[in-house]
Amino acid sequence: MLLGSIEAGGTKFVCAVGNEKYQIIEQETFSSKVPEQTLKETVEFFQRFPELDAIGIAAFGPVEVRLDQADYGVITNNTPKIAWRNVNLVKTIKDAIDVPVFITSDVNGSAYGEYVAAKQRGEKIDSVVYYTVGTGIGAGIVIDGHFIGALGLQEMGHVKVKRHPDDLAFGGLCPHHGDCLEGLASGPTFEARTGKNGKNVPLDDPSWDIMAYYLAQAAVQTTLTVRPNKIVFGGGVLSPKFLDMIRKHFDQELNGYVDIPPLDEYLTMPEAENNGSATVGDFELARKVLIAGEGHAFAIDR
């Protein structure tokens, strides 16, 4: 089996082909500044593999992933990447390469990769939530091997949280909600709070603890709503020490209210090798769409 993966990011497309053991056979990265150019390079990459069986796409967005929508496969008008508005990723790929395609969000692709990789390691896992914390905050969910969302993709970066008592003067950066989670805990909030880029803010600066407090609340919300087997935090803002700060607040906020696995197994950083969660997820989604056929919006494998 020869499986394709497109990690379609706002700054680059990572294209790969691999086998059903999720081993990468070849991989190339293209800038995503100019859609026509990026898509041409993407198509040409996959055309070099005439044996290709199927492609999984994990895309920035918002992207329409519901099969019954007229704009299925399209990066919608709401994307901040103006050049990509109304670009139909699925149609462009399928018109050039006649294989089954499965598309989901970038974070869902990563969540799925973590789900698959955990299964591969022999962990008992049914459900996983994946947060990415970088210039924004996004989250993907896999429940019993499926994606969810009757009305579209998750946008859990924009939930409200209890304000930290030492952070009340900060209005938050979200243009839509001010002090939602993304407005309070994404990477750019370092600049706003301290005047420095996050890379230059030492971990004992209070701004880290404030952000950990907010992210811990998000993890509590997700714990009490989804009851997943684990919650993964990825993205440029994360580090093992910062994750420990999140764990500490999470423990205080949840206060033992529901049973969860040991914290160091429950709240983790991505465990797929080489930052490859989304690629592993894409490969497996490609395998699934090859087996089940297109038309299963939620990667059914119950």
Stretch that binds a second copy, among 3-11, 16-24, 25-33, 248-256 (CB under 8 A): 248-256
Q: Residue 244 interacts with a second copy (CB under 8 A)?
A: no
**Best CA proximity match to 2, nearest among 52, 44, 56, 57:** 52
Gap between the terminal Cα atoms of the chain: 22
Instruction: Considering the complex, state which of residue 225 and residue 239 has its C-beta at the smaller distance from a second copy.
Output: 225
Residue 220 as a binder of a second copy (CB under 8 A): the answer is yes
Candidates 32, 38, 108, 127; binder of a second copy (CB under 8 A) is: 127
Choose the binding region for a second copy from 191-199, 240-248, 250-258, 273-281 (rule: CB under 8 A).
Answer: 250-258
**Alpha-carbon dihedral sign for residues 261, 265, 270, 273:** negative
User: How do beta strands 3-8 and 54-59 pair?
Assistant: parallel
By the rule CB under 8 A, 179 interacts with a second copy: yes
For the bound state, the minimum distance from the C-beta of residue 223 to a second copy, rounded and expressed in Å, comes to: 8
Task: Name the burial class of residue 50, with classes exposed (0-12), middle (13-18) and buried (19+) by CB atoms within 10 angstroms of its CB.
Answer: exposed
Nearer to a second copy, 40 or 160 (CB): 160
User: Following DSSP, what letter does each residue of 102-121 receive, concatenated?
Assistant: EEEEHHHHHHHHHHHHHHHT
Q: Which of 17, 97, 125, 212 binds a second copy (CB under 8 A)?
A: 125
* Whole-number Å distance between alpha carbons of 113 and 121: 12
Of the two residues 12 and 158, which places its CB atom closer to a second copy in the complex? 158
CB of 2 to a second copy, least distance (A): 29
Instruction: Locate all alpha helices (DSSP H) within 35-143, ordered by sequence.
Output: 35-47, 89-96, 106-120
Residue 258 as a binder of a second copy (CB under 8 A): the answer is yes
Is residue 183 a contact point for a second copy (CB under 8 A)? Answer: no
Closer residue to a second copy in complex, CB, 53/179: 179
- Among 74, 101, 118, 146, which residue interacts with a second copy (rule: CB under 8 A)? 146
Distance CA 121, CA 137 (A): 28
- In single-letter form, the type of residue at position 191 comes to E
Q: Can residue 177 be called a binding residue for a second copy (CB under 8 A)?
A: yes
CB 181 within 8 A of CB 157: yes
Whole-angstrom distance, CA of residue 82 vs CA of residue 284: 30
- Which residues contact a second copy by CB under 8 A? 125-127, 139, 141, 143-144, 146, 148-156, 158-163, 176-177, 179, 217, 220-222, 224-229, 253, 255-261, 298, 300, 302
